[in-house]
Chain A
């Protein structure tokens, strides 16, 4: 069977993209999910705080997912669970997706359009190479979250957390509520990588110390973790000798960053952006491969699921337009990150596809106070976004109206952090 749109991943991005593609006129939509259920990582995020932007209420992760799963079911969008995509090939008009599962065996599914929504994975202890032993008891925060919230088992009792990413902060609270003792959260940078609200609600409320400019210099324990050596770092992130402190613990959780999961994307030959580790995308999240779209954490790591859903709507729209032959390919603008900005998504804009505005997502490289983000085309300042405080942990949403952009025939839109005037 040939599908109009096949979606690789049934997490929040995939669900919202499927709904939008179907509503936009794609008849045969199929979701492929490698896990046992739809919802993706939201299933293990049983804390609340999801959906404030989308639904104006605080939902838990599973509740947020359920709203979209219900829409998928109402629209009779089929999905396959426990199904792994091995690879994807571009055959011109059709993409072929090689897929396996227990029930149907090896399948080759053909699609006019594909939306990549594989999400991201956690950076590991191996990637950051902490010196010391390699015992059990060292987990990424997300793996610990899965053990506790999905399997009902505790990974340990005395805990140190390295990295102040949101999952680490959430897990500090979760483990405390489950009776474990969280001794400290150590963060290499002089600022947290998590949302402010999570620092308040997950650390401050439970008297868990956040040790900024601290790292772990040694892992002790041959079989099971016995402790960690923690030390302070200087401005260059080098350990300051003499500041080492031994903390006995049986569990070390890592929350040291997320990496988009783009193996399928890369193998298929889609052009990547090494700033985001995701595909280069346009305003409707079209990639360099015609008919292939990408959205959510597989494009760039988001901090709120609401923005994932928002981005997925764009990709769903794009895919529906594509199969109807309504998607324009002519790139009007490219975007780039100037001083203070780490990356910008989308990297390209085709003005003919734009309805009323384009939302540019970006992250700043460091903490800025009382600065603005300015958008330039050439020397021309076209828009300004004011923020009291710009944090690397909080994605900047910079909306620019179509009318503003339409004044320029083409060019490069450059985003920079500057003094407020």
Chain B
């Protein structure tokens, strides 16, 4: 019997798991996927928002700015790339300038530091590649960019290092409330826990419906993105938002923390919560809108397009959108919902996790003892490409595998790939290696390195080559079996 079961190992579940290890608790983190951070956490804008847009009356407004200021420490402890590059909300006319004034005022209410309204010349001095008709902007120096899946992976790793049991490929099909404890039924065995934290992303409404009367529903909204080659990475220095409208935040243009350029997303409601298929029409829409602010986007430097889903919460009547996070002990005693966790969820998570643990879990469990062995830091993740020449010399001396480059585009060595396979919450698939090391994320998109990565995974996990998956266990196979000549030899 675990004290707490967390359903969903995305950014919310993984980070809350880590935060809970500050206390002596027996925790299990469950996910139906083959890797942590594999759905919403995997495909989003990767932005640490300053926090000027959400109303102060909402949880989004309450947690955004405090979450933002915690990022330096969090990313240092968890060894995650993070850059406070600032953001601009740009205006093309006086009407939009008025909106920017409103955002500025709201930002002050939310406690966002350093906000400034910039005049035309100041905007173009900061960002010379923006459309000339931009007449002003709201500058938020605290906005940043991060690698969301690396943050999630390292939070999960740190949670495991601090004692959490991680169970991947455990798809929850039912939950029985035994009034005193919950029995979670999965395809890979049942799990019992006194308390449950539901952080199941898009499926948190389905999970809650297993134990209680539904009081919220999650709508999937699809967003398309393009990633550009690093050659285009310096087109903008900060995150460029269009002026928000009723339709949403609009299409942003942003550098990524790894030096690429990202544009997106749109917001298309979809009925199927697995619909991450891109459509030509929507991809064109992204391009057209991104060009309005950034007319020199080199579309011939695109290396990847994809779509991700966000989960927009709808409360009570199912018709009026409240649009706020749902973070509370539910009407079912001992069952906590962390749901409707869309933007600015990534930014807010350090503050939200602290709130969940201190203000929701702690009052529920009497006599909670601190965990004296809690270590907030992960083991250093060595990234060869980012090392100095001297460090490179040293690491290859220590471990020659760091002298063997597997991914040419991103200069990822065999040493790094072996490391991420053997770390806690380690990589089990080609995509998991890609998320952790960037092998396959460059301009050749794994053309050269994927056969090598398959080989390394097979060797390190001691499985046959054709058992190595691209992503999901069993279904996302890469190889269908031996060739004729190999079969004949056997």
A-side interface residues toward B, CB under 8 Å? 34, 82, 84, 86, 98, 100-106, 121-122, 124-127, 129, 131-137, 140, 142-143, 146-148, 150-157, 177-179, 217-219, 222-224, 250-251, 261, 263
Q: Is the CB of A34 within 8 A of B405?
A: yes
Residues of chain B contacted by A122 (CB below 8 angstroms): 444, 447
Q: Is the CB of A152 within 8 A of B277?
A: no
Taking A34-B408, A106-B392, A121-B448 as contacts, is the C-beta distance between A133 and B276 under 8 angstroms?
A: yes
Q: Is the CB of B403 within 8 A of A100?
A: yes
- Whether a CB of chain A sits under 8 angstroms from the CB of B404 is yes
Residues of chain B contacted by A147 (CB below 8 angstroms): 451, 479
Residues of chain B contacted by A100 (CB below 8 angstroms): 392, 396, 403-405
A48 to B472, CA, bound (A): 38
Taking A86-B411, A102-B404, A136-B476 as contacts, is the C-beta distance between A218 and B396 under 8 angstroms?
A: no
Q: Is the CB of B470 within 8 A of A136?
A: yes
Given contacts A136-B469, A218-B277, 19 further A-B contacts (CB under 8 A): A34-B405, A84-B408, A100-B405, A121-B447, A122-B447, A125-B445, A127-B303, A127-B445, A132-B277, A135-B476, A136-B471, A148-B483, A152-B482, A152-B485, A152-B486, A154-B481, A178-B484, A179-B484, A261-B408
Closest Cβ of chain B: how far from A238's Cβ, in Å?
11
Closest Cβ of chain B: how far from A331's Cβ, in Å?
28
Interchain Cβ contacts under 8 Å between A and B, 17 examples: A100-B392, A105-B397, A105-B400, A106-B392, A106-B396, A126-B303, A131-B277, A133-B277, A136-B478, A152-B483, A155-B478, A156-B480, A217-B280, A223-B470, A223-B475, A224-B470, A224-B477
Residues of chain B contacted by A137 (CB below 8 angstroms): 478
Residues of chain A contacted by B411 (CB below 8 angstroms): 84, 86
Residues of chain B contacted by A251 (CB below 8 angstroms): 480
Q: Is the CB of B396 within 8 A of A131?
A: no
Closest Cβ of chain B: how far from A33's Cβ, in Å?
12
List residues 87-117 of chain B with CB under 8 A from any CB of chain A: none
Closest Cβ of chain A: how far from B386's Cβ, in Å?
13
Closest Cβ of chain B: how far from A122's Cβ, in Å?
5
Q: Is the CB of B279 within 8 A of A126?
A: no
Residue of B nearest to A143 (CB): B447
Q: Is the CB of A150 within 8 A of B476?
A: no
- Whether a CB of chain A sits under 8 angstroms from the CB of B210 is no
- Whether a CB of chain A sits under 8 angstroms from the CB of B274 is yes
- Whether a CB of chain A sits under 8 angstroms from the CB of B64 is no
Q: Is the CB of A103 within 8 A of B400?
A: yes
Residue of A nearest to B280 (CB): A131
B interface, by DSSP: helix, strand, loop or mixed? mixed
Taking A100-B392, A125-B445, A152-B485 as contacts, is the C-beta distance between A223 and B480 under 8 angstroms?
A: no
Closest Cβ of chain B: how far from A208's Cβ, in Å?
18
Q: Is the CB of A102 within 8 A of B302?
A: no
Residue of A nearest to B475 (CB): A223
List residues 282-302 of chain B with CB under 8 A from any CB of chain A: 283, 302
Closest Cβ of chain B: how far from A147's Cβ, in Å?
6
B-side interface residues toward A, CB under 8 Å? 226-227, 274, 276-280, 283, 302-306, 389, 392-393, 396-397, 400-401, 403-405, 408-409, 411, 430, 443-448, 450-451, 455, 465-466, 469-472, 475-486
Residues of chain B contacted by A126 (CB below 8 angstroms): 227, 302-305, 445
Taking A157-B480, A223-B472 as contacts, is the C-beta distance between A150 and B396 under 8 angstroms?
A: no
The contact of B455 among A98, A132, A151, by CB within 8 Å, is A151
A179 to B480, CA, bound (A): 12
Q: Is the CB of B403 within 8 A of A102?
A: yes
Q: What 10 A-B pairs are tightest by C-beta distance, nearest first?
A: A136-B470, A152-B486, A223-B475, A84-B405, A126-B304, A102-B400, A124-B445, A223-B476, A105-B396, A153-B479
A55 to B479, CA, bound (A): 37
A183 to B371, CA, bound (A): 61
Closest Cβ of chain A: how far from B203's Cβ, in Å?
15
Closest Cβ of chain A: how far from B470's Cβ, in Å?
3
Q: Is the CB of A101 within 8 A of B478?
A: no
Residue of A nearest to B299 (CB): A129
Taking A86-B411, A106-B392, A126-B304 as contacts, is the C-beta distance between A154 and B447 under 8 angstroms?
A: no
Q: Is the CB of A106 within 8 A of B403?
A: yes
Closest Cβ of chain B: how far from A400's Cβ, in Å?
33
A261 to B397, CA, bound (A): 29
Residue of A nearest to B305 (CB): A129
The contact of B403 among A105, A150, A152, A157, by CB within 8 Å, is A105
Residue of A nearest to B464 (CB): A153
A154 to B483, CA, bound (A): 6
Residue of B nearest to A134 (CB): B306
Residues of chain A contacted by B476 (CB below 8 angstroms): 135-136, 223-224
Q: Is the CB of B283 within 8 A of A129?
A: yes
A121 to B449, CA, bound (A): 12
A223 to B473, CA, bound (A): 9
Residues of chain B contacted by A127 (CB below 8 angstroms): 302-303, 445
Closest Cβ of chain B: how far from A382's Cβ, in Å?
34
Closest Cβ of chain B: how far from A228's Cβ, in Å?
12
Closest Cβ of chain B: how far from A365's Cβ, in Å?
17
A280 to B488, CA, bound (A): 49
Residues of chain A contacted by B477 (CB below 8 angstroms): 136, 224
Q: Is the CB of B479 within 8 A of A131?
A: no
Closest Cβ of chain A: how far from B467's Cβ, in Å?
11
Q: Is the CB of B486 within 8 A of A250?
A: no
A223 to B443, CA, bound (A): 22
A142 to B411, CA, bound (A): 20
Residues of chain A contacted by B393 (CB below 8 angstroms): 105-106
Residue of B nearest to A250 (CB): B480
Closest Cβ of chain A: how far from B30's Cβ, in Å?
20
Q: Is the CB of B465 within 8 A of A151?
A: yes
A362 to B448, CA, bound (A): 28
Residues of chain B contacted by A179 (CB below 8 angstroms): 484
Closest Cβ of chain B: how far from A175's Cβ, in Å?
10
